[in-house]
A and B are shown apart, each in its own frame.
Chain A
Amino acid sequence: MGLKTAEDNWLYTISSKKSLFSFNFIEIWRYRDLLMLFVKRDIITLYKQTILGPLWYVIQPLFTSVIFTLIFNNLGQIQTGTVPPFLFNLAGITAWNYFKECLTGTSNTFTKNQNIFGKVYFPRVIMPMSITISNLLKFGIQMLIFIGFFLFYKVQGTDIRLHSTILLFPLYILLMALLGLGFGMIISSMTTKYRDLTIVVGFGVQLLMYLSAVPYPLSEARLKFPEWVIPLVEYNPMTQIIEGFRSILLNSGTIEVDKFIYTCAIAVLVFLCGLIIFNRTEKQFIDTV
């Protein structure tokens, strides 16, 4: 029994039991190089062997904005105040796209990567995190388009200006990333065994967009929507983010402090829930996927 003392200092244990909150942040930190290499891989390989390359990320929001302007503003008579409707829609879509890309990109983490996950171990959460980071590139390209049109309208003499809260811009990006990543991780964990949710994601995201005040301002929704729909829009964290995003860039609408705090809380909560569920799934998913 003299050996007992020497055998007690195990580095770690592999077992089936895992407590709910046992994230190994040190481990994730140790794999930070991998995170950056995945991001690099996504960026390098994004435009390989396409003719238009990054242009695709320009075309999509531009056309959507044009369509939205035609339908909602020309046909549907939605008022956007002093802001040109096209610019209003472009801002909303740019923000929405980043959230959407993060959500759909991470929602199939387990099924898409089952090959590599079945062979080697690394903290699985690296994968969705890298997607969220590399999506920033697409977001950046779309932001450049927005800035281009913003300057164009400015030169034309339209009355638009940035709001002083523009300093909150990085925070809004973080909120979108947390929400997209959080929901994405929850969905990806739930779809490992039962694939039903993957079918919902496609049109669910589409529907959510219309409830998130992307093609209309929240003030219009308050006026025109039926009673029971208004809270769905108002307490939807994405509505608050889109509204806030437009508010700081175009000075349209207002940021309500209590709603802003509410949104931050929801985003952090969703992210933590996602992390917990994801963490629980990563141990067993390879047997059920």
Chain B
Amino acid sequence: MSDVILMAENISKQYRLGLVGTGTLSHDINRWWHRIRGKQDPYLKIGETNDRSKKAECDYVWALKDINFEVKRGEVLGIIGKNGAGKSTLLKILSQVTSPTTGEIKTKGRIASLLEVGTGFHPEMTGRENIYLNGAILGMTKAEIRSKEQEIIDFSGCARFIDTPVKRYSSGMTVRLAFAVAAHLEPDILVVDEVLAVGDAEFQKKAIGKMQDISAGEGRTVLFVSHNMESMARLCNRGILLNNGKIGGEGNIENVIELYLKNNQEFSDTYIEERIKSNCYVKKITLSNAQNQLTSYFNFNEGLTITFSVFKAEEDEQIYNLSFAIVNTNDVVVLSSSISDANELKLSKGANKFSVSINGYLLNKGNYKVRLFFSNETERQSIQRIDCLGFKINETGFYKNAQLRKAVIIPKLDWVKL
């Protein structure tokens, strides 16, 4: 069990923000001056953690900071994280495209990476010629490619076009061919980044199947990055969660996915607008259960109530509209409703309160967001459009065979014997 094939020790990667310009030269000279005197790089001491959304206060940023992990032989490790969490940087270091600023990675096998399929495809060359070129770029020898040529062509399903220049291919066909080459690589460790999001449904299924074969059947070690939690859960057995360049969690893939979703989904039962958007705006939104308690956790059979406080500073003749939508974690709008469905929105000066209820026995278990839309109908202007609240529907109070229900909404309908 303790057969560690790859070990990362204190991997950090520093990037400089902004443009390469004259300032860079002075830093380079300073760095060089420190080096010839045998001192440490002066810019390694500074640098902030990498949060994409916050404004930077200094020029250097740590895309990765002190990453440690081990991968065992035959393991499929999923790397999860938000955009800019450092996933791709880590993969780039693993595939030797760039080197870490500090730390080192030790490995017992050859690493091949699939950061983007079709790298090095030349449009003027035929499919067959590109198989050889691409295979060689990915580290195969000519003999290896020759022995697999037929298999690759069959897998890609492009046999008819194999002697046609790739520039005549449709984009889907190019990707199919490229993935086919990559999937037939035989390194000890395979690094894969989001390649499954290509091709049509049939091909995606084939691709995921092939990935499963590689990891399960052939016992290859795979490091896998994707935003698709479903394929992640299917393919991987262990996971690492990256959070602003640091490891935020590690372990069984299901736990890591749950941790990631929890981190990302801010459950909140109250939203308060802090900046005044216009003469009239939604100032506060709350989420409460049937007992009128503020909460963001509901049982399946429980109803939930959303309360809106709309504030109007001055009387005016404008017509406003208030509506909202419920969005699930895959960004699917599950339902939407507008106050104008019921009656016209009449607002008086000062605070106005409205509430709307959603029945129990409707939303399947899972995490949801409340998206608020508030607009000025007269001027056709959106005032607020924001994901303001987050809540979770628990399994408690489910239908009897509810575990098998995959639908987004599972309302209780009237079944009648005729």
Q: Which residues of A contact B (CB under 8 A)?
A: 3, 6-7, 9-16, 18, 30-31, 33-34, 36-38, 40-41, 44-45, 48-49, 115-122, 193-194, 283-284, 286-288
Contact = CB atoms under 8 A, between A and B. Distances in A.
A230 to B, nearest CB: 37
A10 B106 contact: yes
Contacts of A37: 132-133, 136, 142
A235 to B, nearest CB: 30
A119 B93 CA distance: 11
Contacts of B108: 9-11
Interface string B95-114: 11111111111111110010
Interface residues of B, number: 45
Given A11-B110, A13-B106, A33-B141, A286 B97 contact: yes
A69 to B, nearest CB: 37
Given A15-B99, A45-B125, A121-B95, 12 more contacts: A6-B2, A9-B108, A12-B107, A13-B107, A14-B96, A14-B100, A14-B104, A16-B100, A30-B141, A34-B137, A36-B142, A193-B24
Contacts, number: 108
B89 to A, nearest CB: 10
A15 B104 contact: yes
A120 B104 contact: no
29 contacts: A11-B107, A11-B110, A13-B107, A14-B104, A14-B106, A14-B107, A15-B103, A15-B105, A16-B100, A16-B102, A16-B104, A30-B141, A33-B136, A40-B129, A41-B125, A41-B133, A44-B129, A116-B120, A118-B97, A119-B115, A119-B116, A120-B97, A120-B138, A121-B95, A121-B97, A193-B28, A194-B25, A283-B98, A284-B99
A193 B29 CA distance: 13
A34 B136 contact: yes
Contact of B120 (A3, A9, A36, A120): A120
Given A10-B107, A11-B107, A11-B110, A120 B95 contact: yes
Interface string B261-300: 0000000000000000000000000000000000000000
Interface string B39-70: 00000000000000000000000000000000
Contacts of A44: 124-125, 129
Nearest to B121: A116
Nearest to B143: A33
Contacts of B116: 119
B210 interface: no
Interface string B328-370: 0000000000000000000000000000000000000000000
Contacts of A40: 129
B255 interface: no
A44 B128 CA distance: 13
A189 B263 CA distance: 43
Nearest to B116: A119
Contacts of A36: 142
Contacts of B109: 11
B141 A283 contact: no
A283 B113 CA distance: 17
B122 A45 contact: yes
A40 B100 CA distance: 34
Nearest to B103: A15
B7 interface: yes
B411 to A, nearest CB: 48
Interface centre among A6, A16, A36, A288 (most CB of B within 10 A): A16
Interface in B139-156: 139, 141-142
B83 interface: no
Nearest to A10: B106
A283 B99 contact: yes
B252 to A, nearest CB: 22
A193 B119 CA distance: 23
A68 B25 CA distance: 42
Nearest to A17: B104
Contacts of B136: 31, 33-34, 37
B69 to A, nearest CB: 14
Nearest to B21: A194
B108 to A, nearest CB: 5
Contacts of A16: 99-104
Contacts of A284: 98-99
B113 A120 contact: yes
A268 B256 CA distance: 55
B142 A33 contact: yes
A113 to B, nearest CB: 9
